[in-house]
Amino acid sequence: MTNELQNLHLLPTMAPALSDDPFAKALVKAVELELRSDYEEIQKIILLENLEKQSDNMLDHLARHYHVDFYDDTLTRKQKIALIRNSRAAHMYKGTKYAVELAFESLGLVGKAVEWWEEEDPKERVPGTFRMVIDVKSEITNNLLTQFDRLACAYKNMRSHLRRVELQMKIHHELFVGTISTAGETISIYPYQVGSITLHGQQKQATASYSQEILHFSTKGE
């Protein structure tokens, strides 16, 4: 079907009564051009949905074609594919928090941009700045550290400056603490009668703990 759209010619199929009508011919020609444009868009979608099957050379070509801002040989194949796939959205929202966070997501990182006016600490409210908070789930390499500043600067707006990048590592563990308490009551009945009354009670308590480690490092952003 897509090949048929590429080679589509509607003018020869027009009814004889309309073939000499300038308006009808112009309308058919416009439809023909629109369908061919749809074919080109379909081909782009097919490529983007099958990036995993493309060669490394083709990925490099697509990165240039889609104007991927942050792209070099130090990236893994998986990261290159994610950057290419997200390139359209990144350019559409370039200069926003979303674009910066999407770029970090393309590298397999969960990041959050915090702008100066969102800071709770008044000392952190430096106009025109922002910081990145990155959740670290694996080993941090020197190469990855050098990418943070470049990545943010590629997609942020020009008036904002990256103040610092915070690496946040969450460690989850389970801690079980159990307690038990007993309570009893003695009732005396006069005159004395043979028999007894016993009350039993049980109480269960549980506690949990949570710990978090945050690693900070400064970077000179633009």
Sign of CA dihedral 16, 21, 24, 25: positive
pLDDT of residue 209: 58
> How many independent structural domains does the chain possess?
2
Give domain status of residue 133, yes or no: yes
Predicted structure pTM score: 0.55
Write down the pLDDT at residue 185: 72
Instruction: Identify the pLDDT of residue 211.
Output: 57
Residue 144: in which H helix or E strand, if any? helix 142-155
Q: Report yes or no on 182 lying in a domain.
A: no
Residues 41 and 64 in one domain: no
Residues in CB range of 147: below 8 A, 6 or more apart: 70, 74, 107
Q: Is residue 72 domain-shared with residue 17, that is, in the same domain? A: no
Same domain? For 62 and 166 the reply is: yes
Q: What is the pLDDT of residue 144?
A: 72
CA atoms within 13 A on the CB side of 29: 8
Residue 177 is assigned to a structural domain of this protein = no
Does residue 115 sit in the same domain as residue 138? yes
- Do 98 and 75 lie in a common domain? yes
> Which amino acid is present at 146?
T
Asked whether residue 195 is assigned to any structural domain, the reply reads: no
43 and 59 belong to one structural domain: no
Q: Indicate if 39 and 68 belong to the same structural domain.
A: no
Are 101 and 19 part of one and the same domain? no
- The one-digit pLDDT tens for each residue of the chain (222 residues) are 445 555 667 777 778 777 788 888 888 788 878 767 766 666 666 677 788 888 888 889 888 888 888 787 878 898 899 888 888 888 889 989 899 888 888 888 888 899 999 999 999 999 999 998 988 776 677 777 777 778 888 888 888 998 888 888 777 778 777 787 777 777 666 666 556 656 556 666 666 555 555 555 555 544
Contact 133, 112 (CB under 8 A): yes
User: Does residue 82 form part of some domain?
Assistant: yes
Amino acid 126: pLDDT: 93
Domain carrying residue 11: 1-49
- Same domain for 156 and 67, yes or no, is yes
